[in-house]
């Protein structure tokens, strides 16, 4: 089954404790991205990757890191989480193409930083 998976689905952590949220897709997609979703603010892009070893900042990259060492994986790293990073996070992927290429979203990771 074609899918995007994220782990963990739920995480409660404390300020300053490094964490990684994994994202994996089995569709051989070139393009992957991370979003955060907050009430009243909608989906905002954190980072995206057009292919292996190619990453770029989105609209809200501060406090986050990513890596793309393999095509299928695109982990999101919070080196020193803070309470303002409490949010619902989505990973998404799509094939490399121009035009109407839909993005497939993972199930989401709900992160709480205390």
Among 66, 90, 111, 113, binds other proteins (CB under 8 A): 90
Among 5, 13, 67, 94, binds other proteins (CB under 8 A): 94
Q: Any idea what DSSP says for residue 83?
A: G
Site string for other proteins, 48-67 (x = CB under 8 A): x-x-------x---------
Q: Could you tell me if 37 and 19 are in contact, meaning their C-beta atoms sit under 8 angstroms apart? A: no
Nearer to other proteins, 14 or 101 (CB): 101
Distance CA 63, CA 41 (A): 18
- Judged by CB under 8 A, the stretch of 11-19, 37-45, 67-75, 76-84 that binds other proteins is 37-45
Among 24, 31, 36, 85, binds other proteins (CB under 8 A): 31
Q: Any idea what DSSP says for residue 84?
A: G
Q: Could you tell me if 21 and 9 are in contact, meaning their C-beta atoms sit under 8 angstroms apart? A: no
Listed residue (4, 80, 89, 79) closest to 38, CA to CA: 89
Binding site for other proteins (CB under 8 A): 30-31, 33, 35, 40-45, 48, 50, 58, 88, 90, 94-108
């Amino acid at each position: 089954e074609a899918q995007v998976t994220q782990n963990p689905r739920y995480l409660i952590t404390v300020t300053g404790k490094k964490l990684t949220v994994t994202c994996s897709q089995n569709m051989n997609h070139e393009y992957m991205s991370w979003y955060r979703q907050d009430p009243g603010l909608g989906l905002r892009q954190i980072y995206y990757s057009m292919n292996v070893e190619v990453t770029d900042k989105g609209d809200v990259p501060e406090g986050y890191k990513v890596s793309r060492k393999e095509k299928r994986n695109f982990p999101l790293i919070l080196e020193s989480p803070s309470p303002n990073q409490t949010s619902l996070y989505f990973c998404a992927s799509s094939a490399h193409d121009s035009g109407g290429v839909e993005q497939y979203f993972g199930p989401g990771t709900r992160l709480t930083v205390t």
